[in-house]
Amino acid sequence: MTPPRTPGAGGTSGGIPPAPSPASAARRRPRARLRADCTADSAGGLTFDVALRDGSAGDRWDAALLLERRGPGGDGPPYGDGDPYDHGDGPADPFAPGEVTDAADHWVRLPLFPSGDDRLRAALPSTMTLAEGRWDAYVALGDEPPRRLLPGALELRPLGDRDPSAHRTWLGVRIPYASRNGGLAVRAWLRWPHAELADLSVADGGLRLRGRLFGAALDDGARVEAWPRGGAGERVTAGVRGAGGPDFTATLCLDTLLAAVPRSGGEDRAGPAVRDVWLRPAEGAAPVRVGRILDDVPDKKRACPHPPHRTADGTATPYYTRDNDLAVRLERPPV
């Protein structure tokens, strides 16, 4: 019986059936789940340590750690293969015959090398790009089908000390975490320029933002813009203070944000409107999404909620999206 290949190891020929992706191979038969400890460095690199309880790590030179990016939506299994630990629907298997894909955007293979008699180690260096999204982690040992990894100890404190160099041409952020169903996953961002939000507060009727811009220069005409989600409606802007350096502050007036939201009539209550927050570095420059990704928190929507703020015109609630970008939920009472 021909063993299934590891993704990326080559195509099919003759009567050999198409190779399964890591997720479909992982469900073939129950096996011991392995854990990976993850350690981050201040440059953004990650080290994965996989423990083998049978003491065979010292003789292993045929192992790899596989990262497979989830399909659109991010919450389902990788490309719809029905991993028993992740449920949902996704697009077709990217490794199927005849499919043309950009493999680097779908999966990454990192060699695992012995690190003592009971551990294997792989590195994801800060100099290696990883497409933005959620990546599920697997381990492949020799000819065995890949199996889903569980998270071990996560040492991520150095991620909070990052200060991306102005000489970079891209910013890569990778945060390991335990997925909803218990597997090890990596949340990745790939951006440049990037507007990092350092502080968010509400005072004197305004939403005050303080942050730093990477990859572009602030100049005359710099402003923060609150865009209506979906494109329909008025944009609300606020001038930026601190033009000339990378740090910026700006205050969006809550009453102005709410005034841009139409009221519903009679007893009908309109649903909340959403404004996504952008930074335009200079007049005529392309806008940059404002978010918070330079730390060790992969999901700020759940971990860092902000309270609603009520005014005479309605309620404004700042929040982080599922991508850790800043948005404001606005709701006005009916007329």
How confident is the model over 99-109, as a mean pLDDT?
Answer: 63
Asked if residue 156 and residue 107 are part of one domain, the reply reads yes
Q: Which two tokens stand for residue 9?
A: 């190891």
Q: Is residue 284 part of a domain?
A: yes
Residues 260 and 208 grouped into a single domain = yes
**Is 326 part of any domain?**
yes
pLDDT tens string 19-64 = 556 655 554 545 678 999 999 998 999 999 999 887 778 788 899 9
Examine the domain organization and report whether 273 and 183 are in the same domain. no
176 and 61 assigned to the same domain: yes
Note whether residue 9 is domain-resident: no
Among 150, 165, 191, where does a domain finish? 191
Residues 147 and 173 in one domain: yes
Contact 162, 42 (CB under 8 A): yes
Angle, CA of 183, 184 and 185, to the nearest 5°: 115
Domain boundary among the residues 159, 175, 191 is at 191
Same domain, 173 and 109: yes
Which residue among 135, 168, 191 closes a domain?
A: 191
Q: Is 70 exposed, middle or buried (0-12, 13-18, 19+ CB in 10 A)?
A: buried
Are 50 and 96 contained in the same domain? yes
How confident is the model over 276-286, as pLDDT tens digits?
Answer: 999 999 999 99
Contact 110, 122 (CB under 8 A): yes
Q: What is the mean pLDDT of the chain?
A: 81
317 assigned to some structural domain: yes
Which residues form the domain of 70?
A: 22-191
215 and 155, same structural domain?
no
Taking a C-beta distance cutoff of 8 angstroms, is the pair 202, 308 a contact?
Answer: no
Helical H segments across the chain, by residue range: 22-26, 254-259, 300-303
pLDDT band (50, 70, 90) for residue 85: very low
Three-state DSSP class for residue 57: helix
Asked whether residue 8 is domain-assigned, the answer is no
How many domains, the chain? Answer: 2
Q: Are residues 203 and 234 in the same domain?
A: yes
Mean pLDDT of 208-219: 94
Domain annotation covers residue 161: yes
269 band by pLDDT with thresholds 50, 70 and 90? low
Q: What is the mean pLDDT of residues 190-210?
A: 95
Query: Is residue 174 included in any domain, yes or no?
Result: yes
Average pLDDT value for residue range 315-328:
96
Question: Do residue 179 and residue 323 come from a single domain?
Answer: no
Residue 106 C-alpha from the chain's centroid = 14
Q: Are residues 147 and 204 in the same domain?
A: no
Considering the domain architecture, whether residues 200 and 326 belong to the same structural domain is answered as yes
In a domain, 12, yes or no: no
pTM here is: 0.79
